[in-house]
Amino acid sequence: MKIQILALIVINALLVSMGSILMRYGGKNLDWSQGLIAGVLNTGKLWLAGMVMCWIAGLFFALLLTKNELVTSFIAYYALTFIFIALGGYFLLGEHFSLAKSMGVILTLFGIYVLMRG
């Protein structure tokens, strides 16, 4: 796999992971009682930033699909996104990391390795 393709996959996975983490973190404080616009502008700036990051990730993914195989792109993207979100949830949000999640990350890393070799 070309380094440019791998870079697009990693950038996309990082963007959507950070966007999801920001939406989770920022969404905790979101006050919908003020209405949609006022609630987001007053209490949901991080949530909104996460939405924008996920939107940008979608653009990167559309670009990626024009340059690489569909199956390889999807598998690598979702696998890396799973790993980044699991680690971000643990380190940045203090979420629980069970043995099952640890095994899932390890098996996913092995799957990415196999995918990249094939």
pLDDT, tens digit, for every residue of 23-32? 999 888 878 7
DSSP string, 28-47: TT--GGG-HHHHHHHH-HHH
Cα diameter, the chain: 52
Q: Please count the CA atoms within 13 angstroms of the CA of 68 that sit on its side-chain side.
A: 23
CB 77 within 8 A of CB 12: yes
pLDDT of res. 21: 96
Domain boundaries, position 84: 3-117
Q: Which residues of the chain have pLDDT under 70?
A: 1
What DSSP character marks residue 96?
Answer: -
CB 44 within 8 A of CB 25: no
What's the domain count of the chain?
1
